[in-house]
Amino acid sequence: MIQSAKRNSLSIFLILCSITMVFGEKNESRLWYDKPAQVWTEALPLGNGRLGAMVYGNPGTEQIQLNEATIWAGKPNNNANPDALQNIPKVRELVFASKYLEAQTLATEKVMSKTNSGMPYQPFGDLRISFPGHTRYTDYSRELSLDSARAIVKYMNDGVAYKREIITSFTDQVVIVQLTASKKNKITFNAFLTSPHQDVMIGCDGQTVTLDGVTSTHEGLKGKVQFQGRLAVKTQGGRISCKDGVLAVEDANEATLYVSIATNFNNYLNIDGNAAERAKNYMDKALLHSYPEIKKAHTEFFKKYMDRVTLYLGDNHSTETTDKRIENYSRSHDDNLVATYFQFGRYLLICSSQPGGQPANLQGIWNDKLFPSWDSKYTTNINLEMNYWPAEVTHLGELYEPMLQLTREVSVSGRETAKVMYGADGWVLHHNTDIWRITGAVDKAPSGMWLGGGAWLCRHLWEHYLYSGDTAFLKSVYPMMKESALFYDQVMVKEPVHNWLVVCPSNSPENTHAGSKGEATTAGGVTMDNELIFDLWTSVITGSKILHTDKEFANRLQNRLKEMAPYQIGHWGQLQEWMFDWDNPDDTHRHASHLYGLFPSNQISPFRTPQLMDAARTSLIHRGDPSTGWSMAWKVCFWARLLDGDHAYKLITDQLSIVRNEKKQGGTYPNLFDAHPPFQIDGNFGCTAGIVEMLMQSYDGFIYLLPALPTRWNQGEVKGIMARGGFEMDIKWNMGKVMKVIINSHNGGNCRLRSLTQLKGKGLTIAKGENTNPLYEVPTISKPLINEKAVMNPVTLKRTYLYDLKTEAGKEYEVTGTL
């Protein structure tokens, strides 16, 4: 009787605590749940760029699914098909003869890689911890703190309050599980490592569990990545034993589990490392540190990135769990959830892309399947690039480094492929790559016959320069840009109808066209290729001027640009996706590649090219809203660039619809992961970038404040986002109008502001002439060709004001809005 009364009062106390937690810390950034995860897309992701962990939080049988970023099937290889050299001209002839399906079939047979289509990213396995008797638990909570990169699980069992804290330490390079209880001697468990890989070896090395394995053989390529995981424990009190691969702890007061994982991977060409030695080394070093020390260093490291940006769109008025908040979003319009989703995108990038490591792949760093969808590799016709859209704008520019390294590597492997497949100089990347940096064309021609990957990766090199203003960086990457430009210069040909310079064969990513009655994607001169090459060549031309080099080559490219196909507006007022007016107004294909010029590029601008903006808008209206996760994220960015905040907001609403099973369209899983479906991380990243585009855009020679603010976000504040030119911006607004802007100029130079309302501030003058800041490019595209029958969808631009502010590097400036 007394005992149960005590238990009741304790329960009431805990409930009160959790209520104050919800209300008291209402703007704390976290995901929380009142149940353990049943499936992987409910588990909570942790990561340090190299190690990934998915926490289920089950009291009786904890499962923490583990990844290490270099565990991939296969071994060093490249996969160019030498038959391509003779057959690409034949495929091209067929395209020019309008025999698109024949062209595509030939490309599938003779151009796509004969060896392999890339290797899958694979999991390590799981840490499992069984706690005997923890089945009658109450007062359960499970959370992911986006403020400190920790997962925390709490519950009561038999009158004892238990707590688990899990981190993937950035600084100690191990996964840590810290177990505490409100009473002494109450921590008893068995912990062990499991793996879905075949033939793993599990054992004990003293009081450490070890698991050794090797990655899978795939498409005839033997898996050669060896990995080892180690599991050790430190306790206060109690007894520890290790037998048959099981680490047992009895009656401890507190326990800290350490997991280290390492592989033999050195780089994409070399796997001669010693996995066991490395795993032991990580473990030995980490064991020297206590949990409080590890946690402190980890949190400080994480906060250095995370705290640079804050977004306030409203308080959290909800006491619901995160999955319920997603479920209710279309009715509740829970603005605070959007801010959480935004910070979660930044969190995911910090956790899956750290300098010196691998770039975020299709699933970031989190994957529990031996053979995941699309091998969880790097698809370059949208997905890899989208992963890095938030890097610069959300002030995480350093985290672009792994993608930069990938670019360096494919620019080497791609040189071989350019020679073998095209007989060309420079380098090529088709629509996919993996950890081995394959650059051949893969899968079948409908997706694989596309060679824009190199140009798109080069765009990121250039963008990194525009945000950082770092000329030394530009100098170091310029040769890659030049070599890519050279490749296209050599492989492009004149097409027979208009005599335009085009890439052929190619495709407008994965979309079939009416020229083939919808049977084929293979084509020539597709709009996206023209846009990508325009960006690449103009950045090489500008880069050559900045670096005082390659004048002749730059002049050549300048002339070649004039020979390329212009933008065309087709018969229903749409921006043409292809060289011919083939677009189907009922086409709702997930890719909208021809709108690359609108976003991420800046070729299409409401101020400079209003007709193209109308055409892009018409295309987008017909494309529709609901789609796969990444497609909706891209549409958030498109609508932001079209200055339609309410439509961008509508896409966020579509994106924040709950996905509890794979049959549904794209949306969001309970753990806030983006659902293609299946899980693909690009949608998280794309939408995060899109939210910035709604609040601030920097292109076309200015920084536009609140360009696409939805009606709902009447009031708010964003701090620390980055604009091209190296301007760190804090923007506060009220009643939809700019109240206060703080500009931290990293590089100095002219800061040109565009605003819907008038501004005032010391040194602010009305803008005159071109923006003199060299970090702003204003593309000079050729005039579009417009079909006379085109029906326009005109957009009325609101009046804006333009100001100049001369800034000095390292100084801060304040500007206020006038109502």
Q: Pick out residues in 737-796 that bind ligand FUC (CB under 6 A).
A: none
Query: In whole angstroms, how far apart are CA 458 and each of 427, 479, 482, 506, 666?
Result: 11, 10, 9, 19, 29
Asked if 684 interacts with ligand FUC (CB under 6 A), we say: no
Asked if 703 interacts with ligand FUC (CB under 6 A), we say: no
Which tokens in the block code for residue 394? Answer: 């959300």
The residues that bridge with 812 in the sheet, in sequence order, are 744
Asked if 680 interacts with ligand FUC (CB under 6 A), we say: yes
Q: How far is the CB of 85 from ligand FUC (least distance, A)?
A: 26
Which tokens in the block code for residue 633? Answer: 């994220």
CB atoms within 10 A of CB 674: 31
In the complex with ligand FUC, which residue's Cβ is closer, 343 or 363? Answer: 363
Q: How far is the CB of 432 from ligand FUC (least distance, A)?
A: 8
For the window 338-367, what string marks contact with ligand FUC as x by the rule CB under 6 A?
A: ------------------------x-----
Asked if 379 interacts with ligand FUC (CB under 6 A), we say: yes
Q: Calculate ∠ Cα 206-212-218, nearest 5°.
A: 175
Q: Pick out residues in 430-459 that bind ligand FUC (CB under 6 A).
A: 447
Which tokens in the block code for residue 296? Answer: 């402190």
In the complex with ligand FUC, which residue's Cβ is closer, 32 or 630? Answer: 630
* DSSP class per residue in 6-48: HHHHHHHHHHHHHHHHHHHTTT--EEEESS--SSGGGSEEEE-
Region for residue 374 given its phi and psi (left: phi exceeds 0; alpha: psi -120 to 50; beta: otherwise): left
Q: How far is the CB of 589 from ligand FUC (least distance, A)?
A: 9
Strands 160-168 and 175-181, by their bridges, are antiparallel
In the complex with ligand FUC, which residue's Cβ is closer, 383 or 671? Answer: 383
| Kind plus residue range of the DSSP H or E element containing 749 | strand 749-755
In the complex with ligand FUC, which residue's Cβ is closer, 372 or 749? Answer: 372
Asked if 374 interacts with ligand FUC (CB under 6 A), we say: yes
| Kind plus residue range of the DSSP H or E element containing 297 | helix 291-306
Query: According to CB under 6 A, which one of 383, 394, 413, 698 is a site residue for ligand FUC?
Result: 383
Q: How far is the CB of 671 from ligand FUC (least distance, A)?
A: 19
Task: Count CA atoms closer than 13 A to 302's CA, side-chain side.
Answer: 28
Asked if 395 interacts with ligand FUC (CB under 6 A), we say: no
Asked if 593 interacts with ligand FUC (CB under 6 A), we say: no
Output the CA torsion sign for 761, 767, 770, 776. Answer: positive
Q: How far is the CB of 568 from ligand FUC (least distance, A)?
A: 24
- Distance from C-alpha of 404 to C-alpha of 123, rounded to nearest angstrom: 24
Query: In whole angstroms, how far apart are CA 132 and each of 99, 176, 265, 587?
Result: 68, 21, 38, 56
Asked if 641 interacts with ligand FUC (CB under 6 A), we say: no
In the complex with ligand FUC, which residue's Cβ is closer, 31 or 384? Answer: 384
Query: According to CB under 6 A, which one of 507, 628, 698, 747 is a site residue for ligand FUC?
Result: 628
Asked if 510 interacts with ligand FUC (CB under 6 A), we say: yes
CB atoms within 10 A of CB 702: 27
The residues that bridge with 667 in the sheet, in sequence order, are 675
Q: How far is the CB of 434 from ligand FUC (least distance, A)?
A: 12
Radius of gyration of the chain (CA): 27
Please tell me the count of residues contacting ligand FUC according to CB under 6 A: 12
Asked if 676 interacts with ligand FUC (CB under 6 A), we say: yes
In the complex with ligand FUC, which residue's Cβ is closer, 41 or 58? Answer: 41
Q: How far is the CB of 443 from ligand FUC (least distance, A)?
A: 8
Task: Count CA atoms closer than 13 A to 369's CA, side-chain side.
Answer: 15
In the complex with ligand FUC, which residue's Cβ is closer, 377 or 464? Answer: 377
In the complex with ligand FUC, which residue's Cβ is closer, 447 or 771? Answer: 447
Tokens 């390079």, located at residue: 173
Binding site for ligand FUC (CB under 6 A): 362, 374, 379, 383, 447, 510, 590-591, 628, 630, 676, 680
